[in-house]
Structure 1
């Protein structure tokens, strides 16, 4: 399956006269003109470099730029000084963004509960699952600092193979952690249901045939055959119920 791009290369640049330090004291949610312009410009550049695909699952992103997520690889809650660092940002779909947030929350919760066995009412333990060490790197320059496949620093196919039907197979431990942490092998089920719903809306055999042919880009012939059978069964059942 064509994954679209291996890594974000080249990494987008700040506009002339702007650096990460220019955002000092500004929260990510700020409505300041410099922040709004930065997000808008970066989304457009990343969409082009990422070929319109999610940095994690390689599914097509929504066509409407505001509907895409500027994902922080190192969570901004944990390390806010990386909030406006371009190499810490990539475009992701809402599914992967949500799965990554879930992995972060689960890890922090587990470590906090573990700490509570020794210290009553401990402060929340903050740990980023993507980092090798809980001490964040000074700069985002080395792939070795990360446990998950980094969108800017790692070559995706060296760690993960994507088969048709969005089946993700590990090639390295880093790939394994990324697949597990993002629950990437649940993506295939989501895409299958979305395809069935879309195909079920087609009217006439020609439209259905064209729709099924388009699915061959992402699914094997046997998977497309199963989709066709499911859609036809659904249409027949609907016709009988009228």
Structure 2
């Protein structure tokens, strides 16, 4: 844990004699200028001359760098000179955070010392930043906890200007690193040292090449706020994020297959609910020693009968009902069922996809349908490039995969109305219940 600024006795007396702890505007009094200069210099050193929130480099030696009040001094003037409440930030994070309340209990009259759970955002002295926020490709802030997500949202760490600044810093650091090595290469005479330096330069350039598409993807995301906000909101909803993360290409394929086969799925739902057929099926199933018969049992039995073209009085009676009531010949329905075998044995995967779409719809803060076709067409080619590359860092690859899934789910939500999806879910539930 880092230590906040320590006031000398003279500085304590200065504050007590000139600040009433009621009017936070007194913070700007000229008499505090030198004290604030000392605090600022200490905080710059403590934070390696970086903004505590976004980690962007700050220009030292200027009075325009804000001393950040973690708990807003306007709402809580009592904490204006509290050392534990002071950190350093860039102007954009300072203004973005503004007067937002960051205490869970805003009515407290005592500063919650060493109580990290009292704060909605990462605290400069009580929290470990890297446990709550990861910065992908030195550009994109990713929440790793509820507090991390909250900090990103409150300090607006998804702003595009921040991405541009961090992208520039990243490119400059890569360039500077390789230039230093190249300069060293020109001075050495040792063949082994030359080979080692060339190898290092090659690795640096490879790293830049591998990450370049990822960086451009993230930079473009920062400019397309609908996409970035959707990604951050999904990550902040842990249940949804986990479900999306676990979705496989096969599940998406089953869902598409289910949609294509929706007519036969509806037919089967009606078939196992048909009184005359249901009675026959239940008698056959009970002979197999199964009690507490449900629709799932009936679906498996009717599939078995149709696929294997069983012939008995009971089976013939079922085929007769199918022909007379539903206008399907035996060979027609048999072909349909055989062609639908994969989806019928994977209906639970379809249900998972439908439940996910409904969870996203219910979370009104996640508005995937607001992502435009134009935005999708901008992002998808870069996503594909990142996924096609070798040796892409795990964090960047996972972002690309998440984006790909988000766009697929977005397309499904646009393609099908709520009524359609409710209808599909009703079919699935009836078939597997």
Query: Structure 2-normalised TM-score?
Result: 0.38
User: Partner of 1:31 in structure 2?
Assistant: 30
Give the superposed CA RMSD: 3.1
Contact kept, 8 Å, 1:147 with 1:177, in 2: the verdict is yes
Give 1:73 deviation, angstroms: 1.1
In structure 2, C-alpha distance between the alignment counterparts of 1:132 and 1:18, rounded to whole Å? 31
In structure 2, C-alpha distance between the alignment counterparts of 1:213 and 1:96, rounded to whole Å? 31
Query: 1:71-97: CA deviations, max 9, x gaps?
Result: 111111111111111111111011111
Give 1:40 deviation, angstroms: 0.8
In structure 2, C-alpha distance between the alignment counterparts of 1:10 and 1:147, rounded to whole Å? 21
Q: Larger C-alpha radius of gyration, 1 or 2?
A: 2
User: Partner of 1:131 in structure 2?
Assistant: 103
In the TM superposition, 1:21-170 aligns within 5 A as 21-25=16-20, 27-32=26-31, 35-101=32-98, 104=99, 128-141=100-113, 142-170=115-143
Give 1:224 deviation, angstroms: 4.0
Higher RCO, 1 or 2 (CA under 8 Å, sep at least 6)?
A: 1
- Cα 1:227–1:73 change in 2 (3 A) is closer
Give 1:180 deviation, angstroms: 1.3
Unaligned runs of 5+ in 1: 1-6, 105-127, 200-208, 229-242
Query: 1:6-48: CA deviations, max 9, x gaps?
Result: x6x121200234336454338101111xx12210110111111
Q: Which has the higher helix share?
A: 2
User: Partner of 1:175 in structure 2?
Assistant: 148
Contact kept, 8 Å, 1:159 with 1:171, in 2: the verdict is yes
In structure 1, C-alpha distance between the alignment counterparts of 2:68 and 2:125, rounded to whole Å? 12
Query: Structure 1-normalised TM-score?
Result: 0.64
Of 13, 20, 38, the residue aligned with 2:6 is 13
- Cα 1:23–1:144 change in 2 (3 A) is farther
Query: 1:201-224: CA deviations, max 9, x gaps?
Result: xxxxxxxx935958x7xx954444
- Cα 1:194–1:95 change in 2 (3 A) is farther
